[in-house]
Amino acid sequence: MTTISDLTVAGMSCAACVRRVEHALTQVAGVESAEVNLARGTARIKSSTKITPATLIAALQQAGYDGSVEAPTAPRERFPWLPVMLAAPLLINMALMLAGSPVMLSGWEQAAIATPVLIFGGAVFHKRGLQALRHGAATMDLLVVLGADAAYGLSFWRLAHDAGSMDLYFESGALIIALVRLGRWLEAKARWQTASALTALLALRPDQARKLVGGQEIMIQAKDLRRGDLVSLRPGERAPGDLAIEQGEALFDLSLLTGESVPQRTQPGDAIPEGAINLDGDLRARVTATGDATRLARIVQMVTDAQGAKPPIQHVLDRISAVFVPLVMLLAVICAAAWLAHGASWEQALVTAISVLVIACPCALGLAAPVAIMAGTGVAARNGILIRDPAALEQAAKIKQVAFDKTGTLTEGKPALTTIIGDEASTLRIATALSRGSEHPLSRAILARGDAAPACEGFRAIAGQGVTGQIDGVECALGNQALLNALAIDATAFAAQAKALADQGMSVSFATRAGRLVGVLGFADHVRPHAAAAVAALQRRHIKVVMLSGDHPAAAQAIGAALGIGHVLGGLSPEQKLQQLQAMKADGPLAMVGDGINDAPALAAADLAMAMGSGSDLAIETAGITLMRPDPLLVPAALDIAIRTNHVLYQGLAWAFLYNLIALPLAALGHLTPLVAGTAMACSSLSVVLNALRLTRWKAG
């Protein structure tokens, strides 16, 4: 049995750190794999046996990093006041020097300012750099330490030999420390913004609840509620768990859970998820789930998993980053040797090597993918779109075809029994008796209309066809044309009437008794308000739209025509849906959209499964993308945010590679000073994060 453990890891600064942490954790006996997310500062460990957190934390500490079981919180990195304020006079002095001003700091004054910056402001880099050396690792902190200390040491050596020398690099050493510290603080703040959706979801949980005991209200901690407890909910209060309303009506705000801005009217029997806000009613409700079992908890866990997982390309980048820093250090040595071989002074050779060390930080390379994934999945969750993992996100960006189920997806899935042809009393009696054992939407419509009915024995549901059973000892059946064909029952007597109902877009069922057709039932289901707009939006993207339905072909065609879908297939069994999907996949990546109740085989066969969250809870657990409100417009919206997220991810990677491709040769040729190199390096990482933050302004529709 695989055990999953989550740790918060402190002290990571670049992709090389990610590789080292993963290596350290996988060396622990029993650990099967470890995935580290640099942007969130977390590690997910899968092990074949139960491993204590203390053992894993000890492995991290041996590698030079700190770990804890606490969930990641707002960035602990404080604003670097000391290095920034002390480095400011050095920056002003450099500007005066470039302007040819006679008023400048002396060499010893520069040294007096730069020294505390390196000692106190750079303490974190020295500590982590020494730890990296002790463990034979090469990290970003080591590059910063080597660059800043070399610039400082060279300047001090020159000053000691010539007190009047102004060819110094104190400002470079100090500003490298100040800029990197400032850049990391900005990155930490910006990265945390990408996780704001998860923070908002966690904040939905109320601390207290009004439990009803013997008709009296008792205020207790919400975490102490148990399934089956009766609670009172007043206007303005949040649901303290998943609830089923027993008394009262109210409007509920579900916007943070589903992205739906319009409040939902509820009544007795309706389910309310944890965190929903009661706007105007005084309710009594039964607790159906608490703690980790609530829908809110599962949503939070899904978003957490998606943000912590790595896209396929990240594994390649981690391998590149593992050797990148050692190669940069080797390149710095080669550059210094080349300059010396061409007659340059050792000071010039050292300055060039410093610039190479500082410019080649792999931070941007390590941040590009995780910050884009965090921003994209976070903003999608705020808009009611739950993306299960980066693989689903990547697949969604490639979709060329979308297949929709009809009932519960393009229609509201709440059909009403409107027409009965034949012996109405007998037909309704048979239909009601057989429907008691079924969860199908048509069965619920029959039960809403039917009166008392006799018991049904030997009940059997036939997937894609209907149900059968014995009523008063006589074999009866309720289902579609496929069921009649399977039972060899002649439907000629009502064929014309059934076709007329289907041509109007109605779903049609047949009731039989003792092998004879008794009557026909017609069900009207309303098309969802935004279904036509969703189809049009997909078609504008040149995405092929198909409807696959188990309903009567004529009914499916009528709904398809109303929505502008040209390719409609009705009367399909679950097996036939699978065959159609497998054939369609030859024309390009395919997404299947269903309600997650009876579409499981079709959803599993598609390249990407998209399930309406209004369906079963199983949909949330298994679909690649879950749409938390039953709005078909979320389908093109999900594809849109997937495409945008992938664009941002690859833009970040392109920037990281292009930056090093241009900057490293310039530094090696002596065209970049250590100060300019440090500034460029900090800006590189920050630009990747800020580019990803553009996603947080996205809105569905």
Rg of the chain over all Cα atoms, to the nearest angstrom: 33
For residues 91 and 79, give the distance between their C-alpha atoms in angstroms, rounded to a whole number.
Answer: 19
DSSP 8-state code for residue 223: G
The identity of residue 160, as a single letter, is: A
Active site residue 6: no
For residues 400 and 397, give the distance between their C-alpha atoms in angstroms, rounded to a whole number.
Answer: 9
Nearest to residue 440, comparing CAs of 411, 408, 477, 410?
408
Beta carbons of 71 and 303 less than 8 angstroms apart: no
3-class secondary-structure state, position 624? coil
Residues 229, 242, 253, 405: which is the catalytic one? 405
The identity of residue 668, as a single letter, is: A
Backbone angles phi, psi at 270, to 5 degrees: -75, 150
Q: Angle of helix 123-134 relative to helix 170-194, nearest 10 degrees?
A: 90
Neighbours of 582 (CB within 10 A): 12
For residues 403 and 79, give the distance between their C-alpha atoms in angstroms, rounded to a whole number.
Answer: 51
For residues 109 and 622, give the distance between their C-alpha atoms in angstroms, rounded to a whole number.
Answer: 65
For residues 383 and 385, give the distance between their C-alpha atoms in angstroms, rounded to a whole number.
Answer: 6
| 422 strand-pairing partners | 519
For residues 543 and 529, give the distance between their C-alpha atoms in angstroms, rounded to a whole number.
Answer: 21
Nearest to residue 309, comparing CAs of 382, 384, 392?
392
Return all residues near 502 (Cβ < 8 A) that are at least 6 apart.
508, 552, 553, 554, 555, 558
Active-site residues: which are they?
Answer: 405
